[in-house]
Structure 1
């Protein structure tokens, strides 16, 4: 008797990647448009940028801890591809450290020179990030679909939720659903308990839209 192993829904990763693709672009544009000396707006954008940096950091460390070791143990010819992902994570992490340093300098006085340095760091980070995300979606997700079980894949999502402060969970859901297709939206909402779905529709959706109006150009 053949046992069928449930395979992961890898499109979930594509939806998560959309957040980082979108927000890496929006952050650079919003910072570039911030008037010199506007410390109130700089503080607002800095808070969003730090949420972004923390979210991407946790996303990548989850893969480092839970995904790459499993794939390396199960693939032979594609091991070089997995190792390339690890190296790309190092490059992205260094870029995020640069963004963090520039954020701290810009936040203090919203100076013009500090703004220019931050915009350059954000744009450089985005270039590095897109190389990685494109590579991962093209080469790693097919390996995940073949070699990782649905239960193992779910561990990544559970780790991400555990690393997200409870008061930011609705915001994270809004970020995931912003560019999701109707089918993707239905799948994500279907995973939530009824009280969480009600909270999203009654509070979360409006709260997310309000914050996005505040921070985007």
Structure 2
């Protein structure tokens, strides 16, 4: 005959077995939310996201340790206490992983300036480049600014909104005034800063690229 104590022990053992899979559960949650190896590397370069990932891993390991402890102890009260601590660590690890994954999604919204080139013309040189960004919301935008050195000043400016998939990708050609010695292309999140942030500040996810005009 199965007693109430036996049923309790069986239930506690099942809970302990479930909590042992906490590490796999945290990793599975990150994978399900699109955090691949490339995103993980980006997150580990960010201080706040790095702390969340380390906390998620540490809590998952603590959940496993608490579960193993619960399986080994014979006193029901201690087993319940260990499982309670393990469950708290399990939930905490999942929450940290969730917040880290949210940070990974925001990383995709960093603007990028690629394929920068100069195309000589008969009278004027053309600056060609591509601006891209992903995972943008409807209210978010990317501002592009092309500045000439010395007295040329602002040569081009535009505000780009995402398409229905949340992406911005545009090839731009800018005519340069004759005698322009150097140009700088800036792109940043317009929803985070109205004014152009300095290239070295990192504000508004700003990216800059400069090219010398021969």
- Would you say same fold, with TM above 0.5? no
TM-score (norm 1): 0.37
Higher strand share: 2
Q: Which has the higher helix share?
A: 1
- Between 1 and 2, higher relative CO (CA 8 Å, sep ≥ 6) is seen in 1
TM-score if structure 2 supplies the norm length? 0.37
